[in-house]
Structure 1
Amino acid sequence: MPQQATPPTVDPLAAAHWQQLPASASPWLHEEVARRMQARLDWIKSKPASWAHWAPWRGGWQSHAVLADRYPQASCILLEPSASAAAQVRQALHSPWWKPKTWRQGKPRLVSRIDSPVQMLWSNMALHMSADPQGLIQQWHQGLAVDGFLMFSCLGPDTLTELRTLYRERGWPAPAHEFTDMHDWGDMLVSAGFADPVMDMERITLSFATPERLLQELRELGRNLHPARFPALRGRRWRQQLRDALSGGPLQLTFEIIYGHAVKPAPRLTVAAHSEISLADMRQALVKGRTALRGADAAALSLGKEAGHE
């Protein structure tokens, strides 16, 4: 798949502006998706000693506590790309910490970058709003230790099919930017250096009592980042037309949820006329090599003992 700096339907300026908008809390859908993604951790036997939560404020702040309970001995760092969300996380972290359970887990640190590789990186419902998803995936790869793993979720292309159909029938510009297919996400993971990507998806349909509640849900979930979106503010007349159109059918919205999991393998140290290998990759390769040699020596010793008893 050709590598692109930005998706063809995401306006980078609009994406950057949206990132800085304050959010009072995580949307309900984000918390629900986080809960479902946590269930997928049951398939993973390794227990990370350190992990990073990417964009936790919008991605599921309430679910963060449940995730921390799963790994009570692990250290945790929080990374917020949004300055406004970082301020809200910082305020939340200054809440009283007198509960014994909190003392055992330790207080998570809010950081601007990963200074030491972690063994798990968790990102919930953030990737589809990035103007440079390939760069973001590469950043996640760099922040993981060898054999560390990535867990992420995002919206897929079948999201908002009802609303897209309604807009198209009326000749209106698209109500949202296009979302990437899960197979393309898998290709991006491999391109960034990840191994063994596992992708799956499900559809969640939400029903609403009124058009106003449906529109409120959309505002909480994000913004239309399509470059061809309506370039100005809509008037009251158009808004009434939208309400009437929504009232003419079931008040439902479908969301395609994509889940992804991938592992960071040991770096392949290729030799050429001119090769550049980072110091961190070299250290990890040497550590892995020593571990493999110790295992081979132990196996050889065991075989030697068995041969001596024959």
Structure 2
Amino acid sequence: MTDTTPRHGGNPLLDPRAVARQLRRLAALPQAPWLHADIARRMAERLGVIKLQPAVLLNWWGFLGDSREALSQAYPKAKQVWVEPTEALRLRSAELVRRSWWAALMGGAPAIEVQAESALVPGAAQMLWANMVLHAAPDLPTQLRRWQAALAVDGFVMFSCLGPDSLRELRPVYRAMGWGAPLQDWVDMHDIGDMMVEAGFADPVMDQERISLTWATPAALLKDLRLLGGNAAPLRFEGLRTPRWRARLEQALLPLAGPDGRLWLSLEVIYGHAFKAAPRLRMAQEVSLSAESLRSMAKQGAKRPA
């Protein structure tokens, strides 16, 4: 029998230690993962339904989200604050901002700041943008509450993330070979919508899109998947793999080829947006009255004219 108990104390869907290692590796890349700019463009096409023009825009995980161009075109007057989860990513984003400082100055664009999440002023932003971030959150409810706290009342959040059907073609391949989980599980969009309401967001709107990716060879497929992040499943194989195992994996991936001979995998991309609701006034659940107060109220009622 397979033990399905997570080997860490966090979210059972993914291992935070693996996510931390992936973030360190991705921070050293010359550019963000290749897919993210395209998803940012697709998400920006949905901004037409939002009429609010933010003065301060939080770009969550600015380097890895690769959304600068999309956001600058949509909100050229907004001040962008890139919020990074680690020191390595803050340094990486700061480097990008320095390189583009002169171009921004000449174009009259507002400066971009890079901050840690702990340095944010609560309620100071009108918009929070998070491209391809949420599926890597070790604790989704906590992450959504942090987003809600960072926004002003009536500010809005817009995000994208991977859904549970992403790369599903890999699961039967690994299962047939007895290799454990090839990737972590991801949360369904309806569950994310429920979590947003619980976090204090109003009227969340969720949508999904399915994208097909193709590669000429198994080696090219595996290289691109590594550039996207990696396997953070708690029950993944954590030891070192041998070149012989890699050759077996590439052979096992060959049946994924379509009629044109190219290997293909599918992605489910989830898009969502919602507004921060005004805080609700809490009513007392109980009202306590003394016996004397009740007698006084009864006497006053008896004295009223019919």
Superposition TM-score, scaled by structure 1 size: 0.82
Aligned to 2:240: 233
Aligned to 1:8: 12
C-alpha distance after superposition, 1:289-310 (max 9, x if no partner): xxxxxxxxxxxxxxxxxxxxxx
Aligned to 1:90: 94
Moved more, 110-119 or 231-240: 110-119
Following TM superposition, where does structure 1 have runs of at least 4 consecutive aligned residues deviating by more than 6 angstroms? Answer: none
1:207 is aligned to 2:211: no
Q: Distance in 2 between matches of 1:166 and 1:100?
A: 48
Q: Which amino acid aligns with 2:276?
A: K
- What is the aligned counterpart of 1:39 among 21, 41, 45? 45
Is the 2:129–2:157 Cα contact (8 Å) retained in structure 1? Answer: yes
User: Equivalent residues in 2 for 1:1-310 (5 A)?
Assistant: 6-21=10-25, 22=27, 23-60=29-66, 63-99=67-103, 103-112=107-116, 113-115=119-121, 117-250=124-257, 251-272=263-284
Q: Which amino acid aligns with 1:97?
A: W
Whose radius of gyration is greater, 1 or 2? Answer: 2
Q: Figure out how many residues of one structure are paired with residues of the other and give that number.
A: 268
**Aligned pair in 2 of structure 1 residues 98, 18: CA closer, same or farther (>3 Å)?**
closer
Superposition TM-score, scaled by structure 2 size: 0.83
Q: Which amino acid aligns with 1:268?
A: R
C-alpha distance after superposition, 1:131-160 (max 9, x if no partner): 112111111000000000000000000011
Aligned to 2:304: none
Percent identity of paired positions between Structure 1 and Structure 2: 45
Q: Which amino acid aligns with 1:131?
A: P
Q: CA deviation at 1:223?
A: 1.6
Alignment RMSD? 1.8
Q: CA deviation at 1:57?
A: 0.9
**Aligned pair in 2 of structure 1 residues 101, 203: CA closer, same or farther (>3 Å)?**
farther
Q: Which amino acid aligns with 1:257?
A: V
Q: Which amino acid aligns with 1:118?
A: A
Q: Distance in 2 between matches of 1:96 and 1:125?
A: 23
**Aligned pair in 2 of structure 1 residues 272, 96: CA closer, same or farther (>3 Å)?**
same
Is the 2:40–2:70 Cα contact (8 Å) retained in structure 1? Answer: no
